[in-house]
Amino acid sequence: MKIPFSNLLGFPNLISFVIFSFAPFWVLAQNSAPVLEYAISPTKSPIKIDGILDETVWKNTKPAQYFNQYFPYDTSKAVCRTEVRLSYDDTFIYVAIKAYDSLGKKYLVPSLRRDFGGQATDQVSIVFDPFQDRQNGFVFSITPRGVQREGLIVTTGQEDLDLSWDNKWYSEARIEDGFWAAEMAIPFNTLRFKQGSSRWNINFYRADSKTNERSTWTKVPRNMPVFTLAYPAELVWDKPLNKKNRNISVIPYLLGGNNKDFEKNPMENKNNFAVGGDAKIAVTPSLNLDLTVNPDFSQVEVDRQVTNLNRFELFFPERRQFFLENADLFSNFGFDNIRPFFSRRIGIARDASTGQNIQNPIHFGARLSGRLNKDWRIGVLNMQTAKDEKAGVPSTNYSVAVVQRRVFTRSNISGILVNKQADKDTYNRLLGLDYNLASADNKWTGKFSYQQSFSPNQGIDPFAFGGNLNYNTQNLQVNVLHQSVNENFNPEVGFTPRRNFNRDEFVAFYNFYPKSKILNSHAPAWFSQVIWNKQYGVLDYVHNPFYAFRFQNNMYLELNAWQYYTYLYEPFDPTNTGGEPLPANVGYKYHNLMVIFNTDNRKKLYGSGVWVWGQYFNGRITSLQGNLNYRHQHWAILTLNYEYNKISLPEPYQTADLLLLGPRLDLTLSRSVFFTALAQYNSQIQNINVNARLQWRFKPVSDLFIVYTDNYYATNLKEKNRAFVIKLNYWFNL
């Protein structure tokens, strides 16, 4: 069945009109200036970072206290009392934390590994916004066991916390009778700020697992992210800051290993040895130059496998350290499915003889990124990959230039230029422009993006554009989106798995907050998506009424009723196992039920799951996926990731039972020694993967990795390939 676009009663056109006609007026929403202030003054004597708050400066410094509750309610003062004090000297910002505990029970610290998850971990976090732009900030967190976490807050249409960023700072914590205490020493060199600044934005938040309370110093509505920059206090310095210290870091690595390919050359053991490294140079206190020579971009942790029931390419996030600082400048352009720049494209090439993706060595790279002032950010990246004559891969240069201008209170306009060039006649280029909307009170957020690619012999109109707008209050949340991608749009260094389509989406929640000791909130909701083009009319649509329940103990339940339509303009096997494909130019209507649940992750045994049952194209599907975890605090977490899909299609089409199992053992022997063992069984690609990794963090951001990995055929356990790697990296501050 083919559905003409006119049958949709103009729904996509209406959404597009609303977004692009009225959005500029909503940007002007403002909120009041910060109310709370914290006056910071220097310490006159040394501070020993031991978690014991016995220094004179802490006894004489007034604390930030009287926190406001964020969860389960946001209308009262926090039950758990928290005090935070700050001081500084020429090198560090010092933070002293005293988190009181009235229940006298054990604290919940699931693991000793850094960069922990937040909701089910006792912690206190400090948020810095040195430029007071309410768009970008730093988060530093610590648990009662002294486990560190640092991250970057970025605002590109919505606020996100990126925990992949690593840097060097010092801390210690101690558990005392009736409270736990911690001290931090955060180097000024770790932060980016304006020379001569005298005011920053700041906030603190705490998670207490026993009372299941989360609280913030300045009041933050519970419908906003707890780390939001929209509701700050001010950190007032006693004198303008002057960064005098030299800020150069060198991070070399040594790598040795052995790998064997049992399919191509079972008699050859290939030994590997590599030397390279990165350097980080602060050109100004807010502008950083990253350099890399012969970088090792191998993964010390394998990507998690997934069952692919999709017709399009899957996305895997960037994990390589070189790309992470100021990553939002480069990688957050466009939308999740229309990215003009995707850094994982660099270092991967396609073998001309086999059509397979292969690793492409990188000779060198440089990246300049950061702030010129409060309103302007820039980024420039250049990398050169190696020539591989055997695979038919030329040496290729990748260049990216970005500029961002802050407008209004929290919004910005950004431009990007991407260039991939092998020679003067072989190139792919892209120009993009984004407007990221965030009102001062964060009720209105959104993004509007236009991109155009340039290649030899390109077709007409090689462009893509889109916009989305979010309205977020305590009770009502609404999002509308429109995207349009031309069939000749070709971002070779980006991520756009589908082209030649228009997409319109609408989603709305209405939250109720009952006076209940069991239920925190519940929300009826609706989601609709329509994908169409002029050639075929409606390609896909989804309509989904659902109801969400959030409980006081962190449990979550969601009930969904999905109605789908899919028009196959190309043959497709819904099992992705190489079976007889469904024919092209046929439309399918089908519906199913879905249940999503998360248990209380403060318990020793906890998990999550998604259950689907109903129709699937011209057949039926039963699906169950999620994870089950057992925690032995705080030394070990045993996890089983699971996914089972039973797909039944009428003959002659494929019927399949697809099973994906991923047991994982995560041992934290101390705050510096970690061991991870992971096995993955994937029946869809008939592969078994085994990976074991030992990590010793002998200095801050300095590690020794020992990694072993194996791949086997699932049918007969015949070995495919094996690798053993030892890697040492060390962070020097010069």
Tens-place pLDDT, residues 480-517: 999 999 999 999 999 999 999 999 999 999 999 999 99
Structural domains in the chain? Answer: 33-237 (2.60.40.1190)
Class of residue 442 by CB neighbours under 10 A (exposed 0-12, middle 13-18, buried 19+): buried
- Report percent pLDDT > 90 for the chain: 70
Q: What does the pLDDT look like over 577-618, one tens digit per residue?
A: 889 999 999 999 999 999 999 999 999 999 999 999 999 999
Count Cβ neighbours within 10 Å for each residue of 238-253 and write b for 16 or more, e otherwise. eeebebeeebebebeb
Please state whether the peptide bond connecting residue 12 to the residue before it is cis, i.e. omega within 30 degrees of 0: no
Q: Which of 569, 522, 567, 523 is nearest to 542 (CA)?
A: 567
Which residues, at least 6 apart from 423, have a Cβ–Cβ distance to it below 8 Å? 394
Which residues, at least 6 apart from 660, have a Cβ–Cβ distance to it below 8 Å? 305, 306, 307, 625, 641, 642, 643, 644, 680, 681, 682, 683, 684
Average pLDDT over residues 678-687: 93
Average pLDDT over residues 571-577: 91
Six-digit token string for 64: 């930030």
Q: Which of 102, 105, 69, 62 is nearest to 85 (CA)?
A: 62
The reported pLDDT for the residue numbered 10 is 41
> Residue 664 pLDDT more than 60?
yes
Q: Residue written as tokens 């480069």? A: 330
Please state whether the peptide bond connecting residue 634 to the residue before it is cis, i.e. omega within 30 degrees of 0: yes
Six-digit token string for 577: 């196992």
3-state class of 366 per DSSP? strand
Beta strands in 135-195 (DSSP E): 137-142, 148-155, 159-162, 170-176, 179-187
Quote the DSSP letter at residue 495: B
> Residue 11 pLDDT more than 60?
no
> Residue 545 pLDDT more than 50?
yes
- Report the distance separating Cα 440 and Cα 228, nearest Å: 11
The reported pLDDT for the residue numbered 305 is 63
117 vs 60, which has greater pLDDT?
A: 60
Average pLDDT over residues 385-396: 87
Mean of the per-residue pLDDT values of the chain: 89
The reported pLDDT for the residue numbered 390 is 82
The reported pLDDT for the residue numbered 27 is 47
Please state whether the peptide bond connecting residue 252 to the residue before it is cis, i.e. omega within 30 degrees of 0: no
47 vs 734, which has greater pLDDT?
A: 47
The reported pLDDT for the residue numbered 25 is 44
The reported pLDDT for the residue numbered 511 is 97
The reported pLDDT for the residue numbered 5 is 55
Average pLDDT over residues 123-147: 95
Six-digit token string for 562: 């999905």
> Residue 156 pLDDT more than 80?
no
Using alpha carbons only, give the angle 393, 305, 388 rounded to the nearest 5 degrees.
10
HSE-CB of 460 using CA atoms within 13 angstroms:
0
The reported pLDDT for the residue numbered 126 is 98
pLDDT band at 2 (very low <50, low <70, confident <90, very high): low
Using alpha carbons only, give the angle 417, 418, 422 rounded to the nearest 5 degrees.
140
The reported pLDDT for the residue numbered 413 is 96
Are the C-beta atoms of residues 447 and 468 closer than 8 Å to each other? yes
Class of residue 624 by CB neighbours under 10 A (exposed 0-12, middle 13-18, buried 19+): middle
Q: Residue written as tokens 């931090």? A: 184
Are the C-beta atoms of residues 73 and 516 closer than 8 Å to each other? no
Rounded to 10 degrees, what is the CA torsion of 289, 290, 294, 295?
-170
pTM over 0.85: yes
Q: What does the pLDDT look like over 182-199, one tens digit per residue?
A: 999 999 988 988 888 999
Are the C-beta atoms of residues 129 and 201 closer than 8 Å to each other? yes
> Residue 18 pLDDT more than 60?
no
| Cross-strand partners of 495 | 339
The identity of residue 386, as a single letter, is: A
Are the C-beta atoms of residues 140 and 152 closer than 8 Å to each other? no
> Residue 114 pLDDT more than 90?
no
